[in-house]
Amino acid sequence: MTGGNPAMRAMVLERANAPLLLRERPRPEPGLGEVAINVAACGVCRTDLHIIDGELAEPELPLVPGHEIVGRVRALGAGVDGLDVGRRVGVPWLGHTCGTCFYCKRGMENLCDFPLFTGYTRDGGYAEACVADAAYVFALPEGPSDAELAPWLCAGLIGQRSLTMAGDAERLGLYGFGAAAHLIAQVALFEGRRLFAFTRPGDTAAQDFARAIGVHWAGGSDETPPEALDAAILFAPVGALVPAALAAVRKGGIVVCGGIHMSDIPSFPYADLWGERVVRSVANLTRADGERFFEVAPRAGVASHVETFPLEEANTALARLREGTLSGAAVLVP
């Protein structure tokens, strides 16, 4: 049931606010209900930055980050059905849920009281191999490349959940036009919505990128859109954007905060919320979100704009993400 090199390379977080270190580790073997995976690509997500920078404060250290994993099944643990060795699979952020708490029993596994998260409370994909709970991996299509599929595993899934939370908004604002926004924008355009992209003030490259995707309007986050929005999704982790988005949506409009971490939201007048406007957060994801996204994305012709980096250049990719100098998504290729 096992095979391959008994050792692997991994980029490891040994303490917060420090660079990842290249280490050699034993290649992990699957336990009950798990699969062992040879990693072909792993996306670099802003959540990884929040973990490495100490903003998410309870990682299992030492930790291999990464939760946008694409690879091939190398070995099956006991009790695994429905997956075969060699199958291309994806591993997302949600790595395991208890199945018995209040939320799990009501179909809200993203709010599970006792979850495990890939690349946070269990090792992730900044490595040549990983293990995952077989019930939480996705069988992936064979069309797009491994690197192109990697951002789908978080940026795409969180984007899908955020879009669902935005309801049937025809005029939709996207604050922060990076990995998640550029993927879900393509789905939203496929659905016939009109998109308004907000970037860092003065970031004309990001605005040009958004226009190339097909948005109706692109400008700085300090600008007022030419029309009142039905809803807005915030992918940038900047609390000050919440009042700005509230000011941009019409009465009854929805502001969706799509990140796992955000800086503090400043105070704002109640009048900005009045008129039955809504502010809501998105927490994690469900397997159903993945099923929906993987069904619609191919029909929408979703294409990932990626920049690839060797595994050992993970710190460079993270720095580029922190600086906002990426166009699209960064992907590590071991």
Residue ranges matching CATH 3.40.50.720 in the chain:
157-281
Q: Give pTM, 2 decimals.
A: 0.91
Query: How do beta strands 171-175 and 194-199 pair?
Result: parallel
The CATH 3.90.180.10 portion of the chain extends over 7-153+285-333
Percent of the chain with pLDDT over 70: 99
pLDDT for residue 1: 43
In degrees, to the nearest 5, what angle opens at C-alpha 88 toward C-alphas 309 and 284? 70
Per-residue pLDDT at 208: 95
Exposed/middle/buried for 82, CB within 10 Å: 0-12, 13-18, 19+? exposed
Q: What pLDDT sits at residue 326?
A: 86
Indicate the fold that domain 157-281 takes in CATH: Rossmann fold (3.40.50)
The pLDDT, as a whole number, for residue 31 is 96
pLDDT at site 2: 43
pLDDT for the residue 191: 97
Instruction: Determine the Cα–Cα distance for residues 314 and 125; give it in Å rounded to an integer.
Output: 11
With beta carbons less than 8 A apart as the criterion, state whether 161 and 192 touch. no
Concatenated DSSP letters of 141-180: -SSS-HHHHGGGGTHHHHHHHHHHHTTT-SEEEEES-SHH
Question: Digits of tens for pLDDT over the chain (334 positions)?
Answer: 444 558 999 999 999 999 999 999 999 999 999 999 999 999 999 999 999 999 998 899 999 999 999 999 999 999 999 899 999 999 999 999 999 999 999 999 999 999 999 999 999 999 999 999 999 999 998 789 999 999 999 999 999 999 999 999 999 999 999 889 999 999 999 999 999 999 999 999 999 999 999 999 999 999 999 999 999 999 999 999 999 999 999 999 999 999 899 999 999 999 999 999 999 999 999 999 999 999 999 999 999 999 999 999 999 999 999 998 888 899 999 9
pLDDT for position 142: 79
Domain 7-153+285-333 adopts which CATH fold? Quinone Oxidoreductase; Chain A, domain 1 (3.90.180)
Question: Which residue has 């393509």 as its token pair?
Answer: 186
CB 330 within 8 A of CB 309: yes
